């Protein structure tokens, strides 16, 4: 889609086009996937004009109803990234899916960050080996990213360690506002590189949890987190990339039987994540993954290992 396609939309003149380009709305899909409020805030146009432009963009992109058969054909074009564990890939229906948010939550040492590093490497594999031949964006909120680990995992897959590290764009988020800004600037990298196939946030809720303490700030936190997740989903849809986020857990003292841990973020994260997986540590290098929620896969459980060379099967 070109700039001429955008300018041909009703209500878009030369000045409005400039505002759209400056705000990052340089393709029809981006406009069609936006809300009127987002366009108004980003460009300063009126609400009625924004609604008219969005409606026209959606009609142009044919974003109305379609048959389930057509939807199935589109889903056949989705990509999947291997976790380098066949059993874990099987649990996830073939790997980490594009146009979806995969959330893995668990206690410290359960393997969340290990998988974040592994996916950043395996996404660079060719498609026939389980990758997408693409690059990754890694937003680090807990100082977990280690290039040394990337080098070990690249060696484990027979990839050039230096080239592998060059293909991962890393940023450290110092607070929730910075995290949101980094995700906005990530779109610039996606457009510039043209081959970004994975966004990793490790961890999604850490900054939000520490900054918004107490019940009085809960509503503000959830609203901000909700917008952040919708932005992630928009990027996944528009650019056909995969999103992998890790999440912390909290202890629930009211649970008398079973596992007392629960993921942070409440229903906001629960509803927005396409796939939810609970990780927990087992004996030695083993980790247990349990699929908690999925739109099309049954609940299940599997075991994988975290070795020096990366994530592997038992």
Block means of pLDDT (10 residues each) for the chain, length 314 residues? 73 85 83 87 89 89 84 89 98 97 94 98 97 98 96 98 98 94 93 94 86 70 87 93 92 57 77 94 95 95 97 96
Q: Which pLDDT belongs to residue 215?
A: 65
In a domain, 242, yes or no: yes
Last residue of one domain, picked from the residues 18, 37, 60: 60
Residue 69 lies in a domain: no
* pLDDT reported for residue 283: 93
pLDDT at residue 251, as a whole number: 63
Of 20, 35, 60, at which residue does a domain stop?
Answer: 60
Q: Do 232 and 191 sit in the same domain of this protein?
A: yes
pLDDT of residue 279: 96
Closest CA to 124 of 88, 184, 169, 65: 169
Q: Give this prediction's pTM.
A: 0.83
> Has residue 155 been placed in a domain?
yes
Give the pLDDT confidence score for residue 1 in this predicted structure: 46
- Which of 13, 34, 60 is the last residue before a domain boundary? 60
| Residue 254: per-residue pLDDT | 58
The whole domain housing 16 covers 3-60
Residues 163 and 217 in one domain: yes
Q: Are residues 145 and 26 in the same domain?
A: no
Which of 307, 311, 279 has its CA nearest to residue 86?
311
Residues 20 and 135 occupy one common structural domain: no
**Distance in angstroms (rounded) separating the CA atoms of residues 36 and 147:** 41
Q: Are residues 149 and 258 in the same domain?
A: yes
Domain count, the chain: 2
Q: Is 88 helix (H, G, I), strand (E, B) or coil?
A: helix
Q: In angstroms, rounded to a whole number, what is the distance separating the alpha carbons of residues 100 and 157? A: 25
Residue 197's contacts (CB-CB under 8 Å, 6 or more residues apart) are 79, 81, 98, 123, 132, 133, 134, 135, 136, 240, 241, 242
User: Within a domain: residue 65?
Assistant: no
Does one domain contain both 151 and 114?
Answer: yes
pLDDT of res. 224: 86
CA 3 – CA 7 distance, rounded (Å): 6
């Amino acid at each position: 889609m070109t700039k001429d396609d955008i300018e041909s939309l009703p209500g878009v003149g030369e000045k409005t086009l400039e505002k759209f380009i400056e705000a990052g709305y340089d393709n029809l899909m981006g406009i069609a996937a936006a809300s009127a409020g987002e366009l108004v805030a980003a460009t300063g146009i009126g609400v009625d004009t924004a609604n008219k432009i969005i409606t026209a963009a959606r009609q142009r992109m044919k974003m109305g109803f379609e048959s389930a058969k057509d939807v199935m054909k589109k889903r056949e074009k989705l990509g999947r990234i291997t976790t380098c564990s066949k059993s874990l890939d099987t649990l996830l229906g073939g790997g980490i899916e594009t146009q979806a948010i995969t959330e893995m939550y668990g206690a410290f040492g359960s393997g969340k960050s290990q998988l974040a590093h592994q996916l950043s490497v395996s996404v660079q594999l060719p498609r026939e080996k389980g990758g997408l031949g693409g690059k990754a964006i890694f937003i680090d909120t807990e100082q977990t990213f280690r290039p040394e680990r990337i080098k070990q995992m690249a060696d484990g897959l027979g990839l050039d360690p230096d080239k592998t590290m060059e293909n991962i764009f890393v940023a450290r988020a110092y607070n929730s506002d910075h995290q949101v800004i980094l995700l906005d600037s990530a779109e610039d990298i996606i457009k510039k590189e043209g081959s970004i196939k994975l966004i990793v946030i490790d961890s999604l809720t850490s900054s939000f949890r520490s900054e918004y303490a107490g019940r009085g700030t809960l509503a503000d936190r959830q609203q901000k987190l909700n917008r952040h997740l919708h932005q992630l989903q928009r990027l996944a849809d528009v650019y056909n990339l995969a999103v992998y986020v890790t999440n912390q857990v909290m202890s629930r003292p009211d649970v008398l039987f079973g596992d007392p841990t629960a993921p942070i973020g409440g229903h906001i994260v629960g509803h927005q994540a396409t796939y939810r997986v609970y990780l927990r540590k087992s004996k030695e290098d083993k980790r247990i993954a349990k699929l908690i929620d999925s739109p099309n896969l049954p609940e299940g459980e599997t075991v994988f290992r975290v070795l020096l060379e990366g994530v592997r099967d038992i």
